[in-house]
Every structure is written in structure tokens, then in C-alpha cells.
Amino acid sequence: MATGREPQSYSGAQKALHWLIALMILSMLPIGFYMVDRGAKTNFDAWTNTLYTAHKTFGFVVLMLVALRIVVRRSRGAPAPVATLSPMERFVSEAVHKLLYVLMLLVPLLGWAGVSAYPARGIFFGLSLPPIAPINEKLAETLLQLHGYAAIALAALVALHFAGAMMHGFVKKDGVLRRMMPGA
């Protein structure tokens, strides 16, 4: 709800975090599916193992960036919705943004919990991550299955978010897309 005390625009840090996280998630989704498919087809050759190690490292970087982003968002807030949006558009965009935040946290946390339970090394630039789930192979399989389902839900939501951004930017031309752009 607009209170009149919101900032006028997203800060440079908010925009930088939005685009960096977007880039990382948009690359990790297709590469994640490819990696799992390749593992099944090649019985985990060296390149598949490299992809898994990179996936865990970059996934953990995303988790930390998202945590930082939430701290910035909660302390600074966001600009009030563009005035021309209908109540329905405000409701839907707010709901999609909230769900994106939830899934941006849930997806890497489920991945981390899954590798903790296996236990596989949750690797972060060569360091082992502390485990966040008890060792239990059945639990690990369930957690990683949920990680995959949550990633599919995230991909669907990103597609919706992207379609909304394009509609505002190129059909309605109402300034919604512009305000997440650098320099705007």
C-alpha cells in the first residue's frame, strides 16, 4: 500500500541486485535441467561433475545475494506502484514479486538441504558448506525432487514476470519497465 513515504525510485544497489540475480537464475535454470539430464545419460562424466560443482557454488552465491537483497528491500522499501496501474494489476504484480522472493530463497535452500542429507559435498568455492539437514538418503531424494519442482515453479513465475514487464514496456509504455533500468 502506498503511504507517501516510499522512495521515488529503486536504488542503484536494488537495480544491480535485480539484474545480477536475474542473470544468474536465468542461466542456472536451463543449465540445471541440462546437468541432471546429462548425469543420467553419461553416468556422471567429468564435465557433468564440473557442472554440479559450479551449480552448487553459484546457487549458494544466489542465496546470499537474495538474502542481501531482502535486507536492502526491507530497510529501503520500493517506489509506490505506477499511478496508472489498475487495482488488479497492483495485486497481481505484488503477489508475483512476493512469490518470486519466496522461491528465490526456497529453491537454493532445498538444494543445500538436499546435498546435506545425501551427504554430498555442498561446495562453495572449494569450501564445504555446513549441513542443514540430517543424513538420510530417502530424505535427500525427496528434498532434491522438491528442489526440481520449486525450480519449475520459479521458471513459470519468471516467464509471467517477463511477459508482464514486456507488456508494460512495449504495449502500455507506462514507465514500469523503465524504473528498473540503470540510470532511470
Binding site for ligand HEM (CB under 6 A): 18, 21-22, 25-26, 28-29, 32-33, 36, 39, 55-56, 59-60, 62-63, 73, 78, 93, 97, 100-101, 104, 107-108, 111-112, 114-115, 122, 144, 147-148, 151, 158, 161-162, 165, 176-177, 179-180
Nearer CB in complex with ligand HEM: 33/172:
33
Shortest approach of ligand HEM to residue 58 CB, angstroms? 7
Long-range contacts of 138-145 (CB under 8 A, 24+ apart): 140/114, 140/115, 140/116, 143/110, 143/113, 143/114, 143/117, 144/110, 144/111, 144/114, 144/115
By the 8 A CB rule, do 109 and 150 touch?
no
- Nearest-approach distance from CB 13 to ligand HEM, in angstroms: 12
Least distance (Å) between residue 28 CB and ligand HEM: 4
- 3-state secondary structure at position 124: strand
Q: Which is nearer to ligand HEM, 4 or 29 (CB)?
A: 29
* Strands annotated E in 68-164: 123-124, 127-128
Please, which residue, 4 or 7, has the CB nearer to ligand HEM? 7
